[in-house]
Amino acid sequence: MKAVFNPRGLLALEPAAYGETFERAELTPSLVGQVAVMTIRGPLMQHADPCFQSYEQIVADAARVLAGAPTALVLAIASPGGLVAGCFECAATLQRMAAEAGVPLIAYVDGQACSAAYALACAASLIVAPATADVGSIGVIAVLSDMTAQAAAAGLKMAVITSGARKADGNPMVPLTDEAIATKQEHVDRMAAIFFEHVSKARGISPEEVRALEAGTFNGLIARGLHLVDDVQNLDQLLAALNQPASATQAPAASENPMSVRASLQAVVDDEKASDEDKEDAKKALAALDDEKDDKAEGDDDKEGDDDKASAEGDDDKEGDDDKALAASATAAVASMAKPESAEARLARLEATVEQGKDNAKRRALFAGRPDLSKAQIASLKAVPTSALAAALTAIPKAVAKAGLTQAAVAGVQTTPAGTPTATAGNSPKYDAKRIEQRRRMGLASCSDVAPIRVENDKFIFSVAALAEQKTFAKSGKVNAQ
């Protein structure tokens, strides 16, 4: 199914995607080894939509996948973004569900993770992208249309009736005004600030530095230099690392070594097939890395220089030069960014989370084998290490279901009153004398010496208690009183 993506409302979308035609594909989560892979593809809507994937669907799919207790969940993202509404809520929900399940959440940029799609990627503890991926477009966009000239040319006369001065803002049948544009700009700026804060918390860079990217889109290598992604590798490499023993997951961390980054950037510069734009970005990033190396060598002098620079920037801000700061290039952001958590540290944390996920899955399996445990008993075992849990469960005797005639007996499970010997084929055990006397006083005589349910010749026999003094029925069906 193909459809044009041109929804109304605020969008967190790579601009070229608006008005483009996309084909909806059936997206089914898969399992590679013990790692679950869930695809996010195409423009994103808030609620269920017949043509495009929605945040609601993503959350529902993630819930089903996490219920299977994989060792990790990889979001394979190939999306230009979508609606702002529901985007950040979806990201927060994914992060919470993964944390509660003890399953690490990892984002892989399968070609493109822009705008709202990148916001979803920020829910992950690790973002990986190939060198050719497009990452970024961190911002908000809105479209206001003025179709009054077109309507007039067609001979149409429209009247838009409102209850307030701002009620018609954005209606295509009303001429655009500066006030309407300014109002919408304020709305866009507020939503963009939320977006910048979202990325800032996830990636360890300041909201101002995110804003300074000017909603630019960057390939995988440049995105790593900007700390928008953690590592540059393909999906097969990522899945292989995640399915390896814990010690093997350390391997990707080596790519955070500055020389590896420098070599990767230099490869882009030397690549004849690379675009001029990518080569220029790579050259600027190389220059930024050299500046960073020089800064580290300067030691204390560097700190003093940073203080002076910060002071100067503060003075500039006081003088009202905010606009210039916000318009700083992505390259300047690379040079000025304080280095966030390293990829090595992130991968070490990821490794620990993977191991915790395996441990949680083992505990769930052990408790599943003991459905007789009460909530209080399960809570009391919370502090017991998983390595000792099996022994602890063995030491707790299994609870025996209370005896008595229940629905289980009617379903074919033999149940007898407490203290009554279990009847077997060809055997009708006697009740004890006390029970027989009790039944006699109650006026029950016909089955006082047999169990209420017994098995004879592989058949269940249900005894029927009768009154000691039988009453007879007349032909008319009425009871004859005696």
How would you class 457 by CB atoms within 10 Å of its CB: exposed for 0-12, middle for 13-18, buried for 19 or more? exposed
What's the rounded Cα separation, in Å, for the pair 440 and 467? 10
What pLDDT sits at residue 268? 65
The proportion of the chain whose per-residue pLDDT surpasses 70, expressed as a percent, equals 61
Domain boundaries of the chain, sorted by first residue: 2-149+176-256+341-349, 407-462
Contacts for 375 with CB less than 8 Å, ≥ 6 apart: none
Closest CA relative to residue 91, chosen from 203, 188, 223: 203
Task: Flag the least confident range among 15-24, 228-237, 353-362, 394-403.
Answer: 394-403
Nearest to 52 by CA among 95, 18, 75, 29: 18
pLDDT band at residue 274, thresholds of 50, 70 and 90? low
Q: Which residues contact 421 (CB under 8 A, 6 or more apart)?
A: 429, 451
Among the residues of 174-273, which ranges form H helices?
A: 178-203, 207-211, 220-225, 235-242, 258-270
Q: What is the pLDDT of residue 473?
A: 42
Q: Is the pLDDT of residue 306 over 60?
A: no
Model pLDDT, residue 335: 42
Distance (Å, rounded) from C-alpha 75 to C-alpha 357?
17
Q: What is the pLDDT of residue 319?
A: 44
pLDDT in tens, 390-445: 877 887 887 665 444 444 333 443 434 444 444 444 444 445 666 667 766 766 65
Q: Say if residue 119's pLDDT is above 90.
A: yes
Question: Which residues is 90 bridged to in the sheet?
Answer: none
The tens digit of pLDDT for each residue in 84-96 reads: 999 999 999 999 9
3-state secondary structure of 49: coil
For 440, the token pair is: 């006699």
Q: Is the pLDDT of residue 197 over 90?
A: yes
Residue 79 predicted with pLDDT over 90: yes
SS3 content of the chain, % helix, strand, coil (to 5): 45, 15, 40
* pLDDT of res. 475: 43
> Which pLDDT score is estimated for 53?
95
Residue 378 has pLDDT above 90, yes or no: no
Contact yes or no for 148/173 (Cβ under 8 A): yes
Give the pLDDT score at 447. 47
Report the CATH fold assignment for 2-149+176-256+341-349. 2-enoyl-CoA Hydratase; Chain A, domain 1 (3.90.226)
The DSSP bridge partners found for residue 454 are 461
What predicted TM-score, i.e. pTM, was given to this entire model?
Answer: 0.57
Distance CA 29, CA 467 (A): 65
Percent of the chain scored above 90 by pLDDT? 40
Instruction: Give the count of beta carbons closer than 10 Å to the beta carbon of residue 430.
Output: 13
Across residues 354-377, what is the average pLDDT?
78
Reported confidence tier of residue 45, pLDDT bands at 50, 70, 90: very high
Q: What is the rounded average pLDDT of the residues 315-331?
A: 44
Of 228 and 254, the structure prediction assigns the larger pLDDT to 228
Burial bucket for residue 447 (CB in 10 Å: 0-12, 13-18, 19+): middle
Mean pLDDT of 348-374: 75
pLDDT at 14 over 90: yes
> Rounded to whole angstroms, how far apart are CA atoms 343 and 73?
19
Tell which wins on pLDDT, 470 or 158.
158
User: In this predicted structure, what is the pLDDT of residue 444?
Assistant: 61
pLDDT category of residue 460 using cuts at 50, 70 and 90: low
pLDDT in tens, 237-268: 999 999 886 533 343 433 333 334 455 566 66
Of 331 and 103, more confident:
103
Question: pLDDT tens digit string along 198-212?
Answer: 999 999 999 999 999
Which pLDDT band, with edges at 50, 70 and 90, does 345 fall under?
low
Span 168-196, average pLDDT = 91
Question: What integer pLDDT is reported at residue 60 of this predicted model?
Answer: 96
